[in-house]
Structure 1
Amino acid sequence: MTRHRNALSTLALAIALAAIPPAFAAQDDISKVNGAIRVDDAGRAGDLDTVNGSIKVGTGAQSGDAETVNGSITVADDAVVGGLSTVNGGIKVGTNVRMGDDVGTVNGSVFIDRGGRIDGGVETVNGAIGLVATEVTGDIETVNGDLTVGINSHVRGGIRYSKPNVSFISFSRKREPRVVIGPDARVDGPLMFERDVKLYVHETATIGAVTGAEAVSYSGSRAPTGD
């Protein structure tokens, strides 16, 4: 009788494991040295890693972290991914995308479209950052580049512009970075500027304490050009 019960238990476990949806099963990592990586629409993959090549994650797809050295990263609408990181290349993310870790680049821009959520921070060295109706649970950190915390975005951390080092100054743009906190946007933490910037804050936005810059209030849908 005991053997019979054990056999039934084993059979039930096998059936239960077989019923687990593919989305929850372990996925294979994809790693290359030279070459692009693509995850098809509604596809599944583990971590994505290449040195020389772009990474594209399709609509409704799921993957782990995506990292490249020389190449861009593009994530289509409704995808679920881990962290996104590149050295030389931009990061462009579509609508309603969930990112499970930090998003960052050294030389390249970052753009996150409506409905995005980053469970981590955003970081660049020399590149613009743009958020539209996006939630960031961590901080935004950069050195040189414009920043737009767009309409209905929410940064739960703060914003920090670090001072460029001597070698970086010679390569940086001469004009001051433009920082815009848009309509109904929120930045919960402090805004700290170790270099000169032009800071524009919409009259409906909410921000933390500002250090190192003077906030200029504006109304309407577009911030002053500041040029």
Structure 2
Amino acid sequence: MTVQRLALALSLALLTTAPVALASDDHSKVNGSIDIAAAEVAGDVDTVNGSIGIGAGARIEDAETVNGGIEVGNDVHASSLSTVNGGIQVGTGLQLEGDIESVNGGIFVDRGSKIGGGIETVNGSIGLVGTEVIGDIETVTADLTVGADSHVHGGIHYEKPQQSWISFRKRDPRVIIGPNARVDGALVFEREVELYVHESAKIGPVTGATAVPYEGDRAPNGN
């Protein structure tokens, strides 16, 4: 699925499935937030207008919302996380079988986490620290930091923005591949970006951008 179709797909899925009778361990609302307690075992968690909170050590299936963020505690097991308008904040030790997806909102994943699928967003920022991603990272306008000790087995793809997205964001996205980070696949940029790669990082072939090497803990400020 491309990031352009993500918002529509998530919205239609939640609006279509919300009225259906659910299993006892599923949590579903149209209006309102949902909180999963620490160490709770649950099925699908979905709402249209509301946020989702998942406590430390919980085990769930898919967590989906349209208008709201998702906050995930430490050591959570889940199948997928997705939102349209809202950010996704993940603690340490997440074990995710599938994808993390957002349209308008940032995504942050902390140390010791493993994403079995990929990461996808349009507007916002993506930050990884000590995280393993089996799939690809796809975006249009997001700043991206593949932070220290992170490993992306797939590649990085920046799609060409539509005209409305160009006017929405004036500066080019910053892409930082941090200390001891690794991206095995190709880095493909269909738009202008500022790409900074730490001297200790390893990356695949780059198309559409020039990698600027840097040392130390922080990338240059850029333009």
1:82 matches 2:54: no
Per the alignment, in what secondary structure is the counterpart of residue 68 of structure 1?
Answer: strand
Per the alignment, in what secondary structure is the counterpart of residue 122 of structure 2?
Answer: coil
1:179 to 172, 175, 178: 175
Contact 2:55–2:72 (Cα < 8 Å) also in 1: yes
Partner of 2:209: 213
Deviation at residue 27 of structure 1 after TM alignment: 6.6
Moved over 3 A (4+): none
| Structure 2: stretches of 5+ with no match in the other structure | 1-22
1:17-56 correspondence to structure 2 within 5 Å? 28-56=25-53
Normalised TM-score (structure 1): 0.87
Partner of 1:130: 127
Contact 1:27–1:44 (Cα < 8 Å) also in 2: no
| Structure 1: stretches of 5+ with no match in the other structure | 1-25
Per the alignment, in what secondary structure is the counterpart of residue 111 of structure 2?
Answer: coil
Deviation at residue 77 of structure 1 after TM alignment: 0.4
Instruction: Summarize deviations over 1:131-188 as a string: whole Å, max 9, x none.
Output: 00000000000000200000000000000000101232222x1111000000000000
- Give the AA of the match of 2:67: N
Partner of 2:17: none
- Give the AA of the match of 1:89: G
Per the alignment, in what secondary structure is the counterpart of residue 38 of structure 2?
Answer: coil
Instruction: Summarize deviations over 1:46-88 as a string: whole Å, max 9, x none.
Output: 0101000000100111111100000000100011111000000
- Give the AA of the match of 2:57: G
1:154 matches 2:185: no
CA distance in 1, matches of 2:147, 2:166: 28
Superposed CA RMSD in Å reads: 1.0
Partner of 1:225: 221
CA distance in 2, matches of 1:55, 1:206: 35
Aligned residues: 201
Q: Which has the larger radius of gyration?
A: 1
Partner of 2:137: 140
- Give the AA of the match of 2:73: A
- Give the AA of the match of 1:183: P
Normalised TM-score (structure 2): 0.88
1:201 matches 2:197: yes
Contact 2:141–2:165 (Cα < 8 Å) also in 1: no
Partner of 1:72: 69
Contact 1:67–1:86 (Cα < 8 Å) also in 2: yes
CA distance in 1, matches of 2:193, 2:180: 21
Contact 1:95–1:115 (Cα < 8 Å) also in 2: yes
- Give the AA of the match of 1:156: H
Partner of 1:189: 185
Per the alignment, in what secondary structure is the counterpart of residue 51 of structure 1?
Answer: strand
Partner of 2:96: 99
